[in-house]
Structure 1
Amino acid sequence: MSTHHTVVIVGGGQAGLAMSWHLKRLGVDHVVFERDRVGHEWRDRRWDSFCLVTPNWQVDLPGFPYTGDDPDGFMPGAEVVTHLEAYAASFAPPLREGVTVTRLRRTPDGVFHLETSAGPCTAGQVVVATGPYHAPAVPRLAERLPAGVVQLHSSQYRRPEQLPDGDVLVVGTGQSGCQIAEDLHLTGRRVHLAVGSAPRAARRYRGRDTLAWLDAMGHYAKGVDEFGDVDEVRLRANHYMTGRDGGRDIDLRAFAAQGMQLYGRLRDITAGSLGFAGDLAANLDNADAVAEGIKDAIDRWIAANGVDAPAEDRYVPVWQPPAGERTLDPARLAAVIWATGFHRDHRWIQVPVFDGRGYPTHDRGVTSCPGLYFLGLPWQWTWGSGRFAGIARDAAHLAGRITAAGRARMAEEVSWLAGTATETFPRLEWAA
């Protein structure tokens, strides 16, 4: 393969497909390179009982809104894959599955050169839609665990039966860590959970899903530039809750009352001991405070708008942790699951658009390099940017920038060609 495209989209998940839908509707020549298959992230990096945390009505891709019979339900992982496959089939994007982009660079003449597993190609513009979750992040202290303890990253966990009999330590309380801990707990496994600083939210409040209230309040439309510290907002952990069994709260205190062992952050591993910080009480209190703060905001909005909503009693903690630090003998553990997130890996992009942490610097996905864009990043523009809820808005914005940039480049080339009468050039076209 050695060819040129007006636009190359790298990544064929929901972000890349949404971008392709807009470009195809506008008649813009493009191709979508997907390293694996459509839905790979949902197909191969989720456990069996996984469900979306966001309600089905938020699965609103461009030209393909949710039309099922359970808008307030939560799609299981397999259904998400099926939905994305149906989306691709609905408009037949120029999709090439099984093609890995291994290098991207831009020459001084403004042309992007891509090296792929199917051969080289060039592009006038490139959209990176590979998301933020590239390489599993496991701390180096994992190397200090005894060799007999099975270790998995959360992306490798599928079901409780996958693990040997015995106690399991889950490290991390983002959405994945809490849901995996619950999955194990519900089967009767003895679970130890290292609790971090992730916030939580109630699944429902005053008669509606909490996310439905936040949507009505305009939270999903609030741009990241409306916050005081953009970088801090983009690094925030997501609130933990679950869509399992129709959706419910995840209350770690209730799990503890039922026998789950809670600890603070995993601090160190030495011979014969895992040491945990003494911050468990603070972490639980802070998570509860965030959940109650969201309820406060909902209450204020209900009152200000005269909405008829049932009253609801507030949360009362059912368990209090003991004070101080705790330790755990690794000999008690059969397995450890590292729910410690992912690293970004953009080493294949050899264009200077990254900050000192490796994060792509951009404004609503538009980088400082003309013609290079990102789509599908968390808080790219709004809270919904990294979710199904905000992909359509972000993709539409980039489509407008791409077509405007394409028309400008065409005008420059036409102007140059007008002064060159001795050579024959192909006709330039740009569909808008």
Structure 2
Amino acid sequence: MLSGSIQHEGTHLAVCVSSFCMLFLKKALGTIDYRNGDDIILRLAPEEKGKCILQIGTNSGEKAAKIAEIVGDDVAGIDVNMGCPKPFSIHCGMGAALLTQTEKIVEILTALKAAAKVPVTCKIRVLDNPEDTLKLVREIEKCGVVALGVHGRRRDERQPDRCRFEEIREVVKTIQSIPIIANGFSGEIERYEDIEKWRDTAGTSSIMIARKALSTPSIFRSEGVLDKYKDIENFLEFACQYDECYTMTKYVVQRILGGDQEHDPRGKALVAAGSVLQICKAFGMEDCYNKWRDDRKRKQSKKRARVDDDGVYNIEVSFPLKRLKNSVGFSPTPKMVLHDYLVETKTPKATYETVKREDKRFVSTAIIGDKKFRSGIGQPNLRMAEQVAALAALHGMNIRSRLEGNWEED
């Protein structure tokens, strides 16, 4: 899943391979979130309206249609990836596994187009026999897609294998009713002018860029690419603004930084970073992190805990596991702060009731007298679940200020 950055130029591609997503409106961020349990599968920012293409991997027309019904017109279009050669995709009968299953491709695209409120496209790879590629694209054209992406390598080929642009040109000659988008040139593209060059070489209407757009987000600037550290600064600004998760933030910054993380002090600090805050500190952007964190807190502070049907104050708060590990021996934990407050106010001590959900994550309820506090965000173990329940109690009892530090950071 890419819930990642917003780009000023070009189209942001997001991947969602599950049809079991639930829609949430994140008011503090102004975003639309699609979640599978506690995991955010896709986060859409207001700036992405009309620009974000949702790319899906699927082996079923029924599942593809279900996704289309879920996302509605929150995205600008839906693209089916029928060219991914990765084992996880092939193993499930998705991606490049579909290239030799024309009937399945037709079934998927027909069902998706019937259900979708937005335009439908798909992406393939060239087949071992160029004539088979042309037969396939003719069938895809009949399905009513509005554009077709063609990767110029075969299923078993990877970079640095040559991109077969001449075979893409044959597709362009064969299919003239819809735009053809060339893919597979990331290794050849270093600047904006290269995009134009390879588009002309392939004879297509446009170029699809994946890896280069990740390692050099400013590749779409006609004025020229930015210094990599400026790209990182721009990305971190958005990551902080839209509360991007630690794992994805670190992954993207590492891709942009490349080999510099091995010898540059900022790169070494990035490798050691265990939170978005620490990543921002590595690049001198702590103030940026604090600004957007404080903005979210102001918006969230206006919300009161909701009371569930079972009388529990439910407050959706959590914190990274590493935050708890880093506190050992250095700073009080939520449970410690709550315990001290209850002793100080001569209130009965807290007890904890913890359940293990079907997804194998734990949710705990802090019980203090006749009051109960809980966060519905599942945790990896019982210890974390109790600490998060204590944090929920601190919020619910309006004593969160007693706990030092930015525990809620991602």
TM over 0.5: no
Structure number with the higher helix fraction is 2
Higher RCO structure, 1 or 2 (CA under 8 Å, sep 6+)? 1
* TM bracket, shorter-chain basis: under 0.3
| TM-score of the superposed pair, with normalisation by structure 2 | 0.24
| TM-score of the superposed pair, with normalisation by structure 1 | 0.23
